[in-house]
Amino acid sequence: MPSDTDAPLVGVLALQGAFEEHQACLEAAGCRTRQVRTVQDMKDLDGIVLPGGESTAMGLIGTSSVGSDGRNMWAALQEFTSRKPTWGTCAGMILLAEQCVGASAVIENGQALIGGMDILVCRNYFGSQVSSFEMATPPPPPLQSGDDNNSNKDNPPYPGVFIRAPAILSAGPTVEILGRVVATPCRQAAVVLEELEKKISNGEKVVQMKVLDALERKSSQEITYRVVVKEHSTTTLSEDEKKEVNVSDNNELRLELPGAADGSNAREVICAVRKDNLLCTAFHPELTNDYRWHEYFASMVRSSKS
């Protein structure tokens, strides 16, 4: 661990997930680190990372653990993330989202979200644990704009590790999109997107929506997968069509939802975003030996600290 007391002190939420791996990467990027399990552990932090793992488990633990000031972890994190650098990776990205679909069906009140990032996230978009994979993703932005020695022009793609990963379906106008990938949703996610599109067409504002069954059960002996294929765009509507489905000109949820689960209609989704002090990535930078995203977040923390 860096001994320089001037090095930024970054906490890593350690309720569940890949927190030790993040610590190692942050320390390689020149930060001091601290595991955060209580509200008291957040004292004097310059920034915090919400790691990959199981967002439902983190929410259950975080909303039930109460500090000496009477606040639970979620309330304390909402206050912290409103003013200091915060990075959510995979599950951590879900926690920072304002809207989430495909949330766990076993949680009565839905996924516990910290919020703050104006994005619509589809949980487990890329599939189950056994569907984990690595793919090239856009590299992080230069640490300092205008620095020719730190330009993305010659910056190679970043090795994105996707494990039960979410995808960002849409981002608000104040959110800076840092990376996109072309990917097909898993069958379960495709069913969720089909239902989401129906709700959007009906003029509904969706904040949370639980996972839906991807199977059709006609009898106890006959079970088949639901077929979900999108062959049309919903991004461009005529004025008459807008009136028909009750969609206003400034409706941010009017978008082309990622489509088919049969491999023939992959769509572009967002995998990295930033808004002011908040950073989100759908993949797991802590599971690589490439520290560029950790160096980028460390530069955000140093800039905030100074």
> Alpha-carbon distance 216 to 61, whole Å?
34
> Alpha-carbon distance 38 to 42, whole Å?
7
Strands (E), 54-164: 86-89, 97-103, 117-122, 133-137, 158-162
> Alpha-carbon distance 292 to 270, whole Å?
19
What are the backbone dihedrals phi and psi of residue 193, each rounded to the nearest 5 degrees, phi first?
-65, -35
Can you read off the two tokens belonging to residue 90? Answer: 């995979």
> Alpha-carbon distance 102 to 58, whole Å?
16
Catalytic residues: 90, 284, 286
> Alpha-carbon distance 185 to 262, whole Å?
9
Q: Is the dihedral of CA 129, 133, 136, 140 positive or negative?
A: positive
